[in-house]
Structure 1
């Protein structure tokens, strides 16, 4: 398998966040949304209540430690909420720096990558069919299925709808006969494709819907000329297992959170 530059995956994910934040701003969602690149670091920031999980700094390693404190100081000075720092495998001095700044390792945020040139990807292998969203009516159905599958809060639903209403985000629907049962999306960033946004209606879970949507999107991406694919998923989740079964290599990244002094988790 071709050795892939993980910086390319991180960069494409950040570009996807740029699209999402721009969409949220255009849609008039409450709060501010923004992204920034500070040399090696990638920053996502929002003041929107209920979307604090978006606030993050990624690609922290030995070469970018000098930039971390100034970025954190700037975010604090501009009134941004606490930010999560996400790292890959780090040297001891990076861990010590984070600890000195009050950060605690609080979980994993895996990054999955796949070399699309390694194997041919079948477009369909099950009784389900997958179609790409083209018309406005199909986009409306796609958004309804996607948000129903997420079953998230109203705030998250509005953000998801804004992001996936953009033309740069390609949407796909999985069908069982004439019934839409799942939805998923992708965006292409140079030679990388980001597989983001995927959900199955509750009553159709366990039927291989997401596996089929994943296979189909990989075929579409390869046909479009993408050479690498990346995605994120919660550790040990069904989505993560689907990625592994599809041949993705999972790179474990650690989330570091800085709690406020009054937070009982720091006592």
Structure 2
């Protein structure tokens, strides 16, 4: 006689709604092949297109990528100018496709140091895609987590000085509301490529309870299949946010 005991079902894998990626290894990828570092950065930009295209199918609704840090200005003038040219070209060439595929694009970081043309392109694509929501793509350019927090603290200090905010009213929520990411959810999963295990000043406030995954793969070789495997592993993790689950 068949058992009437209900079978236990495996818990449904948890979705990684917001994935943030530190795209590391472009220059190394090119150097290993005897090519200029900018070749690696151009290859990395091509990889971004593939990852953006596959993200919604993996259940990712928010994708944040680290394109250029506040520390990257220390690189050679040739490399910095080359990177800025790649950013501008990506926006110009991908604007139509991103809009057609329902991708909202926005930027975080301090724009004041960026070329005026690049700033116009950034503002233009933000406006053009503002009403889209199939995927929310955020690109961090001239971004540093500490710099972001300093700028937020200055804005809060200005509000206190003006009498619009009491010091004892400053909470986690108030600080979050003054960050570049004020209208973004915190990352569920942060991925770093290239084998390095540093967080490199990327979203330190927002990633306080994110899950991390470090892969040896250099960014130009990071495929949608690998992203899918990482997202799958994330789905099996237990996230307690400082609490305790179970008996």
Q: Do both share a fold (TM > 0.5)? A: no
TM-score (norm 2): 0.27
TM-score (norm 1): 0.26
More strand by share: 1
Larger Rg belongs to: 2
More helix by share: 2
Structure with more relative contact order (C-alpha pairs < 8 Å, separation 6 or more): 2
